[in-house]
Amino acid sequence: MNTHTAPSHGTVHLEVTDGIAVLTIDNPPVNAGSHAIRKGLIEALRSCGEVRGAVLVGAGKSFIAGSDLREFGAPLAWPELPEVIAACEAAPFPVVAAIHGVALGGGLELALGCDYRIATPDAKLGLPEVSLGMVPGAGGTQRLPRLTGRIAALEIICGATRITGVKAEVLGLVDVVAEGDLLAAAKRFLAEDRPKRVVADLAVPEEDETALESAAAKALHKGRGRPNVAEAIRLVRASADPDVVSVLADERAAFQKLRLSEDAFALRHLFFAERKAGSVDGLDAKPRAVSAIGVIGGGTMGQGIARACLAAGLPVTLVERDAEALERSLGALREALQAKQARGRLSEAALTAQLKALSGTTRISELTSCDLVIEAVFEELSVKVPLLTELDATLPPETVIGTNTSYLDINAMVAGLPGRSRVLGLHFFSPADVMRLLEVVRAETTANDVLATGLALAKRLGKQPVVARVAEGFIGNRIYAAYRRRAELLVLDGAAPEQVDAAAEAFGFAMGPFAVSDMSGLDIAWAMRKRQAATRDPAARYVTIPDRLCEAGRLGRKTGGGWYDYPEKRPEPSAEVTALIADARREAGITPRSFDAETIQRQLLIAMVNEAALLLAEGVAQRASDIDVTLANGYGFPRWKGGPLWWAAQQPADRIEADLDALGMAICHGFARGPVSDTLEELKG
Ligand code: NAI
């Protein structure tokens, strides 16, 4: 079908000088490979006339940042990318791709369809299609192995990794790394009368079969359960087949099928949702400049935040309560950096720079040169409020203050501060240098430029921001609490913890809720329940099992057991817990029922969906898609399911309503019902 439903974006400019054609791809802001670009390239290649060669180059910041994903949900219009590549290969002159910025997905496939590739040292090249539920569809699985070998190609394609121009040259993907003027270098390269060199005609390099097997097994393990990863592995392996035309057709067919799969739609939803989540409608304030950070509290979170800032090139001053605690935290931080270097994750030069950029003090007055100070002290108002008061009284008015509180009411925390407009929540996730999610919390009094500074910091740290208003647990922890509560209710009503975990994992969660509780410790939620005891709805069902576990000293892995025992460091169902659950059921007068995996999954998801609807109605989250971004980036929700609201939007609406009715009336008395239908309409629209 050759209908074109998406709008056409971009143009290609052709200029011929001294027998060399320059085709400039111009589709701001990132030169996405759109229908107009594909058409423009074919027309420009045909219009080159008699030239010694042609250079493909991107205008602006990049070569081609990838294909225009907006086109992928509908039939693609002619010409498709393989036809553009065929035109490059059929051109009677050599074509060079001159790569700067990024060349990803279809962008790199186009470059692979050229005879040669020149790149800047810091250019980023990659084939991220598997992370979007697809496989490369324009020869990426066939041409890349011909240049790099299949082992490297498996790593790049199945890991969706980006490599630099320098690394690409080492692997044979790029012919020349050019410092300075890239276009001039490409023209000089062609001036040396290069022959045609069609990559698809090259032989795939011989490689050790055992090493190839193990690379394929590793990729399959990493992508377990994902059909598109298995498909990518099969195609890369098939590149050794001399009948390249057939394998290319096979690859294209796999791509066409996968791009319309449920996984691909869900992953594209997240792709766009993630870009949107970093913005606030109507916010046009400029962020304040940040070049030095203060971190107060050198515990689990403070150290992680410090590592994240140091890795982004920001100097950090760490504050602890006394000299001893400071020495301990700084020592642990230095050790962590050194260990990172020993594992090859940090260069010697970066280690030296980061160690130099780290300092410590026990005095707040030494933070006056910091532009942003983040507190990560104990989760107690009696500690945080005096600290914020001291910070506000001591720091220059332009310094932004962030609090990493998980649950406390930031509005109440800052109410007495003259400088409350400079305070916002910066809720990191543990480990803070690894986890991508950052909830940027906008208190009632947070100034717009302070909010913008939080969003800019997220970008600088390579984090995924989501903006939240103040609420107990903000977006993520509040939804997760509803999910965990539902898991506990399932256990009270008859399911075993391991059954609930297995159902969640079968849905795609990295770990089930009880395994997660044991890992992070049951005491945090216990403290929260105690805090909420006075205001709890007496009509709502309350599961006493986790309290009983805590009272029995079963706080999770750190105490040797929680919901499970850990005899060999692996979770095993516990006889003690089974007895404790039976007691709780008896006391609540419950006759245990049995639940199948699908019912468990639906109940867990519906609990999330309902809480999400409430958060939207309360204005805590800005948009439905932000909730999906939160769950997919911070809570192990399977990305290929698109997030809880995307999942729900794919279900028949009456089914969701029926599930809500069932939970609300039959099982969960006192259950607050969110305006779910409106929420899902927003996503469908
Ligand atoms: P932690 O107990 O590991 O560290 C707190 C540190 O703050 C300790 O080293 C303590 O000596 C120091 N401290 C306490 N009062 C201080 C003061 N007045 N001045 C300087 N330092 C002081 O706690 P953790 O886990 O790092 O949590 C810190 C904050 O981050 C809490 O608000 C917590 O709710 C929040 N958070 C925790 C997460 C986690 O997974 N642990 C996740 C996200 C947020």
Q: Using the mean position of ligand 1's atoms as its centre, give its distance from the Cα of residue 301 in Å.
A: 6
Q: Using the mean position of ligand 1's atoms as its centre, give its distance from the Cα of residue 454 in Å.
A: 20
Instruction: Compute CA distances 44 → 13, 17, 67, whole Å.
Output: 8, 14, 19
Single out the residue of 477, 468, 466 nearest to residue 379, CA to CA.
477
Angstrom distance (rounded) from CA 653 to CA 573: 37
Instruction: Say if ligand 1 is within 6 A of residue 399 CB.
Output: no
- For the beta carbon of residue 55, count every other beta carbon within 10 angstroms: 25
Q: Which of 321, 330, 378, 435 to mutate to test the pocket of ligand 1 (most atoms within 8 A of CB)?
A: 378
The three-state secondary structure class of 184 is helix
Single out the residue of 452, 436, 400, 381 nearest to residue 294, CA to CA.
400
Instruction: Say if ligand 1 is within 6 A of residue 320 CB.
Output: yes
Question: Per 3-state DSSP, what percentage of the chain is helix, strand, and coil (rounded to 5)?
Answer: 50, 15, 35
Angstrom distance (rounded) from CA 304 to CA 309: 9
Q: Using the mean position of ligand 1's atoms as its centre, give its distance from the Cα of residue 373 in Å.
A: 14
Q: Using the mean position of ligand 1's atoms as its centre, give its distance from the Cα of residue 315 in Å.
A: 20
What does the pLDDT read at residue 671? 53
Q: Using the mean position of ligand 1's atoms as its centre, give its distance from the Cα of residue 459 in Å.
A: 23
* Residue whose tokens read 């290609």: 12
Single out the residue of 335, 275, 273 nearest to residue 307, CA to CA.
335
Number of Cα atoms under 13 Å in the Cβ half of residue 227 = 9
Angstrom distance (rounded) from CA 277 to CA 468: 10
Instruction: Say if ligand 1 is within 6 A of residue 519 CB.
Output: no
Contact between residue 636 and residue 505 where contact means Cβ atoms under 8 Å apart: no
- For the beta carbon of residue 246, count every other beta carbon within 10 angstroms: 11
Pair of tokens at residue 635: 């809570």
* Residue whose tokens read 């980061």: 354
Angstrom distance (rounded) from CA 160 to CA 292: 33
Q: Atom 25 of ligand 1 has which residue's CA nearest to it?
A: 300
- What ipTM is given for this predicted complex? 0.98
Q: Atom 39 of ligand 1 has which residue's CA nearest to it?
A: 430
Single out the residue of 82, 132, 115 nearest to residue 248, CA to CA.
82
Instruction: Compute CA distances 128 → 136, 286, 385, 646, whole Å.
Output: 8, 32, 45, 22
Burial of 411 (0-12, 13-18, 19+ CB in 10 A): middle
Cis omega (within 30 of 0) on the bond before 94?
Answer: no
What does the pLDDT read at residue 672? 61
Helix (H) / strand (E) containing 393: helix 381-394
- Are β-strands 162-164 and 124-126 bridged in parallel, bridged antiparallel, or unpaired? antiparallel
- Where in the sequence numbering do the catalytic residues fall? 109, 129
Instruction: Say if ligand 1 is within 6 A of residue 272 CB.
Output: no
Contact between residue 400 and residue 321 where contact means Cβ atoms under 8 Å apart: no
Angstrom distance (rounded) from CA 462 to CA 309: 10
Instruction: Say if ligand 1 is within 6 A of residue 408 CB.
Output: no
| Consecutive 10-residue averages of pLDDT for the chain (685 residues) | 51 94 95 93 94 96 91 88 97 98 97 98 97 97 98 97 97 96 96 94 96 97 93 97 96 97 95 94 94 97 98 98 98 97 94 98 97 96 97 98 95 97 97 97 98 98 98 94 94 97 96 95 87 82 94 95 94 97 96 96 93 91 95 96 93 83 57 67 62
Instruction: Say if ligand 1 is within 6 A of residue 516 CB.
Output: no
b/e map 59-90, b = 16+ CB within 10 Å: beebbbbbbbbebbeeebbebbbbebbbbbbe
Q: Residue 619 — left, alpha, or beta (φ > 0 → left; ψ -120 to 50 → alpha)?
A: left
Instruction: Say if ligand 1 is within 6 A of residue 299 CB.
Output: yes
What does the pLDDT read at residue 163? 97
Angstrom distance (rounded) from CA 333 to CA 187: 49
Identify the structural domains of the chain with CATH numbers, from first to last: 3-195+203-260 (3.90.226.10), 293-470 (3.40.50.720), 477-684 (1.10.1040.50)
Q: Atom 8 of ligand 1 has which residue's CA nearest to it?
A: 299
- Are β-strands 316-319 and 437-442 bridged in parallel, bridged antiparallel, or unpaired? unpaired
Angstrom distance (rounded) from CA 125 to CA 173: 9
Pair of tokens at residue 119: 């790149």
Q: 349: which residues sit within 8 A by CB, 6+ positions away?
A: none
What does the pLDDT read at residue 145? 98
Angstrom distance (rounded) from CA 418 to CA 33: 51
- Are β-strands 464-469 and 437-442 bridged in parallel, bridged antiparallel, or unpaired? parallel
Q: Using the mean position of ligand 1's atoms as its centre, give its distance from the Cα of residue 384 in Å.
A: 10
Pair of tokens at residue 544: 């006493």
Contact between residue 428 and residue 410 where contact means Cβ atoms under 8 Å apart: no
Angstrom distance (rounded) from CA 129 to CA 303: 34
Q: Return the ∠ at Cα 140 (arms to 139 and 145), rounded to 5°.
A: 110
Angstrom distance (rounded) from CA 664 to CA 614: 14
pTM (predicted TM-score): 0.91
Q: What is the DSSP letter of 485?
A: H
What does the pLDDT read at residue 669? 40
Instruction: Say if ligand 1 is within 6 A of residue 496 CB.
Output: no
